[in-house]
């Protein structure tokens, strides 16, 4: 049971809430104690827009505990429009259609269930952009 940890990271997972470094101004995701760019402490909260592109990807056939019911699925490094790189699952896409540079957008989906009696963990995944 990791209820407290899930709860602490909820805003980050649900809404791509990250930070802007107060010292060097770089965008940071996920939030960290020290800026990965200038190693200084002190950041302001910011929400990322959720648009980006596939930077790199790999398909998972042998999943870690809690994720096996979703196999096969594709995990990607996503480069957000604002700059940060993050790791996320792709969803609503067939693996042969995934390519580097593919425009994607953030959606909130089920990441895993802590068994039949446990909590449902929701968070960000990315999918091909649906045009407005």
Partner 1 sequence: MKPSREVGIVGYGAYVPRYRLPASEVSRVWTGGHGGVPVDEKSVPGLDEDTATIAIEAARNALLRSEVDPGDLRSVWVGSESHPYAVKPTGTIVAEAIGATPAVSVADWQFACKAGTEALQAAFALVGSSMADYAMAIGADTAQGRPGDALEYTAAAGGAAFVVGAREQSLAYLEASYSYVTDTPDFFRRPYRHYPEHGGRFTGEPAYFKHITAAVQALLEELGYKPTDFAAAVFHQPNVKFPQRVAQILGFNKDQLKAGLLAGQVGNTYAAAAMLGLTAALDVAKPGDRILMASFGSGAGSDAFSFVVTDVACERQARAPSTQAYIARRAPVDYALYTRYRRKLQMQ
Q: Which is nearer to Zn ion, 26 or 114 (CB)?
A: 26
Query: What is the closest distance, in whole angstroms, from the C-beta atom of residue 20 to Zn ion in the complex?
Result: 9
The residues in 47-86 that bind partner 1, with binding defined as CB under 8 A, are: 47, 69-70
Q: Where are the beta strands (DSSP E) in 10-119?
A: 17-21, 27-28, 43-47, 51-60, 73-80, 85-89, 103-113
Contact 23, 40 (CB under 8 A): yes
Q: Are 68 and 61 in contact (CB under 8 A)?
A: no
108 binds, among Zn ion, partner 1, none (CB under 5 to 8 A by kind): partner 1
* Of positions 1, 4, 65, 130, contacts partner 1 by CB under 8 A: 130
In the complex with partner 1, the residue whose CB is nearer, 40 or 44, is 44
How would DSSP label each residue in 87-101? EEEB-SS-GGG--TT
Contact 74, 58 (CB under 8 A): yes
Evaluated on CA atoms 80, 86, 89, 94, the torsion sign reads positive
Return the one option of Zn ion, partner 1, none that residue 45 interacts with (CB less than 5 to 8 A, by type). Answer: none
6 in contact with partner 1 (CB under 8 A): no
- The residue within the footprint of partner 1, chosen from 6, 9, 10, 55 (CB under 8 A), is 10
Name the minimum Å distance from CB 4 to partner 1: 16
Contact between 125 and partner 1 per CB under 8 A: yes
């Amino acid at each position: 049971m990791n209820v407290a940890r899930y709860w602490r990271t909820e805003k980050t997972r649900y809404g791509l809430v990250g930070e802007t470094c107060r010292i060097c101004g770089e965008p940071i995701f996920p939030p960290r104690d020290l800026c990965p760019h200038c190693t200084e402490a002190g950041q302001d909260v910011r929400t990322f827009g959720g648009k980006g592109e596939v930077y790199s990807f790999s398909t998972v056939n042998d999943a870690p505990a809690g994720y096996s019911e979703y196999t096969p699925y594709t995990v990607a490094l996503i480069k957000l429009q604002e700059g940060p790189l993050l790791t996320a699952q792709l969803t609503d896409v067939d693996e042969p259609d995934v390519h580097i540079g593919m425009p994607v957008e953030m959606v909130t989906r089920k990441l895993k269930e802590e068994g039949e009696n446990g909590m449902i963990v929701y968070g960000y995944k990315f999918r091909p952009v649906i045009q407005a």
